[in-house]
Amino acid sequence: MSELRQDRTTGARVIVAPERGHRPRQPAAPAPSPAPGFDPACPFCPGNEGELPGIIAEAPSAAAPGWRVRVVPNKHPALRPLPPEEAAPADATLPGHGFHEVVIESPRHDAALADLSDGEIATVLSVYHDRFVALAGRPRIRAVVLFRNHGAAAGASLAHPHAQLLALPTMPPGVQSQIDWAERRFRERGNCPVCDELARERDDARRIVEERRHFAALVPFAATCPFETWLVPKRHQASFAEIDADELAELGPFLRDALRRLRRVLGEVPYNFFVDPLGPAETGQPHLHWRLRILPGLVRPGGFELATGLAINPSRPEEDAEALRGADGGS
């Protein structure tokens, strides 16, 4: 039987309708061919630096000469930094001031986050955090979005492993509504909604996938798609900018292992992940609590979802979590 569930951390509602998972479908697209270790046409591969618009930062490799992670400006940015006089709003149009960066996660064209070593994935997460903090500190920036598209069907235009950061001059309306919801819940109950939800999930245990010292992985009660997974810090912290060194060191391998579990259960599927997009004004707030959300691309939104903003999940979160718990997240 279908259910209308509410995400108690954002107020959003989701239709959980497992019977829709049995509808006839077109055959799945074949898995992509393995990528080569080096692609001479790829601008992110070593030796092709002339194709880059510049280099913002690099993390050196500990095992060999050269870089392990590199940050570059997006060659086709959605937003660009503008002088203050050009960034003032005019009527309903806000000039496109902002920053758009790419984090190249490995020199290897065929690297996957799920296959990186502890040291490699730790470096990737450290660079994510450094750039998130740096962009949040820029003048006239209201929100920073850290996201990753894996696979062409998930929006990746290049196969070389990379993530992106977009720093915006305004808070996206959908995110603002979630912030407002969390603030109302905090005023009503006196507790952080995510802290409350994490405690509830740990007591229930059916949707918990794995726990470590600093983080829990779970399939949320109101998952918007099959196998949606949240990585939630156990310590209250409003923004990704507030993570400490021990938590950051744990998060890298924890994220990698969560992606391995998904791959072992689902095969090689496209996915997106993102960190809750908050800005400098949200740091330290008692009603906010960031998460890293992984959304496998098993279903696409249709006309109903686009018309209403209401997701239909054809999979039961409790069963998805059980399948992920049964999959080994190790190497």
Catalytic residues: 162
Is residue 272 within 8 Å of 138, Cβ to Cβ? no
Pinpoint the alpha helices (H) of 117-241.
118-136, 173-189, 193-204
Distances in whole angstroms, Cα of residue 58 to Cα of each of 50, 105, 106, 250, 257? 16, 10, 11, 22, 25
Strands 162-168 and 208-211: unpaired
Among 292, 179, 143, 314, residue whose Cα is nearest residue 232 = 292
Strands 162-168 and 143-150: antiparallel
CA distance 200 to 328: 25
- Residue 225 burial (CB count, 10 A): 22
Among 314, 317, 319, 280, residue whose Cα is nearest residue 300 = 314
Token pair 């245990």: residue: 205
- Tell how many helices (H) and how many strands (E) occur in the chain: 6, 13
CA distance 246 to 72: 27
CA distance 254 to 249: 9
- Residue 312 burial (CB count, 10 A): 18
Q: What are the backbone angles phi and psi of residue 122, rounded to the nearest 5°?
A: -65, -40
